[in-house]
Amino acid sequence: MSEIEYFIDFVVSLVSENVYPGVFLAALIETVFPPIPSEVVFPLAGYSILKNNMEWFHVIGVGITGGSGATTGAFVIYIIAKKLGRTGLVKYLKYAKIKESSLNKADRWFAKYGDKSVIVGRLIPGIREIVSIPAGIFNMNPLKFLLFTITGSCIWSTALTAVGYYFGVATIDFF
């Protein structure tokens, strides 16, 4: 097993055993360290809510907790992008496993849609992980960035958590 696989196993067990703190940490790490897919973390959290006999409203609580973790991570990336600028970032992209072509795509997305690209971008896999970079580079207002990021991140996290909860219920009802 590779180091990344061990790390992903650690995050999965963290989420399934400690739903709220696990989701916050997983969302924060997933935003800064993309190999952990939120498409796995949040449905697992939804299933964990069901498995632990927690009420359905925890789906919303976990979605907000995950959105908060993702926003924290996104703000770190936003600050780094703002400080380094595009030229400085290009040097370090290979360490974050981000291709320059992905950054170019995010730049075009941001240039076309402006600040709205942050809220919408947080809902699109592939864009959601890197939309903070052009927001920092193009000097988006930090409060607006935080508001748009938490809104988009909470919608994304809650929707995926609900999917895990719903399919867990459907599986249990099926058997």
For the segment 48-100, what is each residue's pLDDT rounded down to a tens digit? 888 888 888 999 999 999 999 999 999 999 999 999 887 787 777 666 666 77
Residues near 135 by Cβ (< 8 Å), separated by ≥ 6?
Answer: 78, 81, 110, 115, 117, 118, 145
User: What's the mean pLDDT in 151-167?
Assistant: 93
Residue 132 has pLDDT above 70, yes or no: yes
Looking from the CA of 7 toward its CB, the CA atoms found within 13 Å total: 12
